[in-house]
Chains A and B, each alone.
Chain A
Amino acid sequence: MAANYWASTQRLYWQFSKQKLAETRRRIEDEDRALVQQYPLPERRFLSIYFNQQIVKLGRRIQVRQQALATAQIYVRRFYTKVEIRQTNPYLVMATAVYLACKMEECPQHIRFVVSEARTFWPDFIPTDTSKLGECEFTLISEMNSQLIVHQPYRSLSDLQSTFSLAQDEVALAWSIINDHYLTDLPLLYPPHIVALTAVFLAVVLKPTQTSLHAAATSAAAAASAVQAATSSVNSSGNGFPSSSSGGNATSTPQTKVQELVGWLAESDADMEAIIDCTQELISLYDVWEQYNEKGDLRTFQQMENMRFQKGGELWGIEKRNRWRNEVGVIGSDRFFVSQFD
């Protein structure tokens, strides 16, 4: 992290409202309806999970630190608010994002190393020629308007650790919740400190002893409504501490810590609605994640990618898309081709 979040390009240019984000994505798809129809993608949330896991897989392999991995996740997410997924080679984009993020987070990896490691996972999609990745790096930087500094919630978490005197296992759980939030759109929707607060809140409520986050989702939901209740009670009565309304999950939470946290939140200027929304997004992520099955949900995607790239011969990077698009035009409908170019 460098510079100041409040004056950052992240806050100025890369923080969307939900509506704005949906609009942006719709617009990209609308620009090329035929392509979108020809290659249906899996549900976006499934695709998000899939991309995230692929990046993590590559990151683990080349032993990238979490900070850089997180930055890579955000680069991919930002990139796809500008460019339609179907017009790119997502595997090359992911490998490039990891490569660039490593440079940005001061743990640079050699381009040849990244390429060769990426090829062990996606031999069909990553060209041996490193210049393709270099070229994609350039595209990535241009698409992101060379706004490359990303503020992550991890530092906020370290600060909050002492504020709430969190135990080691609580910090660890909050940390992994932050890791999980990269599977969602949250990094594009909320500032890092909000995500960190949400993670701390969930960690305290869920308690690290609980093995399954998914199972705990319901108690978290209860807790979220407790926060809501607390805030509104604060607003109406000015009383910093909630009544017993959060008793629903008393069995599994260190009550005092939750109360302390809720009290702190209520008195802070933190955007409570945002925290509640983050909580809900995360809970539904865990829900979706439970249903998610890479073999089932992504099979069609993987097949489609294979088909696209076989069709194109050595069509690797984004830069070759034109040629690929021409072929799509020929194989697909002529009308598409004509309407595109007139």
Chain B
Amino acid sequence: MALSPAIPSPHTNSVTAKVKTLSVGNGAASEGTKSTAGQGQELAEQLNEETKRKYVKDKKIGEGTYAIVYLGHLRADPKSKVAIKKIKVNAEYREGLSLDAIREVKFLQELSHPNIPALYSVFSSKNQNLNLVLEYLPLGDLEQLIRDVDGVRYGTADVKAWMGMLARAVWFCHENFVLHRDIKPNNLLIAADGEIKLADFGLARSFSDPYRVMTHQVITRWYRPPELLFGARYYSGAVDIWSTGTVFAELILRTPFLAGNSDVHQLELICQFVGTPNDDNWPGVSKLPDYVPFGKDGSQSYPVRGRDFYLQTFGTVGAVGVDLLMSMLSLDPRKRVTAREVLTHKWWSTDPTPTKKEDLPKKGAGGEARMAEDLKRRAGELDDGRGVKVARILDFSGMK
């Protein structure tokens, strides 16, 4: 729900009576008549025009297959900053608007929360492109901070603050029956005041009605839970919790926890570092459509990792933090914590206290370009090149 007054509502428009009607469409066919007759515009068009005039596009800060991102500001206030994401309509509308774009607009319109980017307004521009006016988030994303090992130092209190904001965003989505389905560090954008925002709703959907299938081809691989890798068509908010857990692990390790280079490899890594799924630790797993019996026919089967492993690997967040991480990375989605349980976990009230958002480590320059990168990417994709560089496979062999 965007509360911005910029969105014309049937209850607030007062210009109506004065406006003479004409075409709603502003396609090429109407251009001729408009110029000759100079007649009034249709109301909606006028309101749209007003909205459009409220914002100034300053410069293009990025372009991708899906959208072009501009930095902009309110005409009335040159110091204000907004990001304008212009969604490219498929050539000549032949295929209708892309589902990504529709989903993004659909959810951002309704979800209003400090940890979800605000959608101030939507307007259409002359080539009938959809423009989303979004909160400007200048400080890049969490992935940048994680990767900049030399430039950025952070500790447990910072991780706790970031995880807290992520957990609230996830909770809010689930509470509103929305599955995000693409949680990963580079979808966690950072606002000027340090607040983390869960962005990119291009893969989001509302909870399915019972017994209606959903696609399992969601969530960027490294953050994808085992049930989706096994092709589950019925799933729940637990998929987002797994992703949240892998982000948690990545914040601690400063490198992706499970960086598989194929779906099978991803499952192998899960087996190795979390545990091999079987009907004992996850009743019914063998019935999933794409289930592969790891740990049989001679391949090694790993028991579900115990507390010791987690303490060794992720011990910096303390024993209570490790408990939380373990509960997020439960193989069986039914045993995974829910978003609500995450928020009531005692880690939040254990020392150290989360860092205040304005004191969180920041990355200096490059935020602008980075936001553009993040916004223009298609949902579910990893950046080319960047992924390869960081895709070091974790080697835990030294810590048995």
Contact = CB atoms under 8 A, between A and B. Distances in A.
A31 B177 contact: no
Interface string B183-213: 0000000000000000000000111110000
Interface in B359-387: none
A87 interface: yes
A2 B17 contact: no
B152 interface: no
A95 to B, nearest CB: 12
A121 interface: no
Nearest to A31: B21
A135 B1 contact: no
B102 interface: yes
B206 A8 contact: no
Q: Is the interface of A mostly helix, strand, loop or mixed?
A: helix
A333 interface: no
B37 interface: yes
B93 A130 contact: yes
B22 A322 contact: yes
Nearest to B8: A145
B177 A2 contact: yes
B90 A340 contact: no
Contacts of B90: 134
Interface residues of A, number: 60
B89 interface: yes
A31 B18 CA distance: 9
A57 interface: no
Interface string B12-30: 0000110111111111011
Contacts of A24: 10
A108 interface: yes
Q: How large is the interface on B (under 10, 10 to 19, 20 to 34, 35 or more residues)?
A: 35 or more
Contact of B9 (A13, A99, A142): A13
A148 B205 contact: no
A142 B44 contact: yes
Contacts of B176: 2-4
Contacts of A27: 16-17
Contact of A320 (B25, B124, B205): B25
A172 interface: no
Nearest to B27: A319
Given A82-B44, A137-B93, A148-B102, A7 B206 contact: no
B111 A3 contact: yes
Given A2-B176, A4-B176, A149 B27 contact: no
Interface in A112-168: 130-135, 137-139, 141-143, 145-149
Given A7-B112, A323-B33, A341 B16 contact: no
Given A87-B23, A138-B128, A146-B109, 18 more contacts: A2-B178, A3-B1, A14-B10, A24-B10, A30-B17, A31-B21, A104-B106, A111-B94, A130-B96, A133-B93, A138-B97, A143-B24, A147-B7, A149-B110, A319-B26, A319-B30, A322-B22, A325-B23
Interface of B: 1-2, 7-11, 16-17, 19-27, 29-30, 33-34, 37-39, 42-44, 48, 89-90, 92-97, 99, 102, 105-107, 109-112, 122, 124, 128, 130, 175-178, 205-209, 214
25 contacts: A2-B206, A2-B207, A4-B175, A8-B1, A9-B109, A9-B110, A13-B10, A31-B19, A87-B23, A100-B102, A106-B205, A108-B99, A130-B93, A132-B93, A138-B124, A141-B97, A141-B130, A148-B106, A148-B109, A322-B25, A322-B33, A323-B29, A325-B33, A326-B33, A340-B22
**10 tightest A-B CB contacts, nearest first:** A134-B93, A319-B25, A2-B206, A3-B110, A319-B27, A322-B30, A31-B21, A341-B37, A341-B39, A13-B9
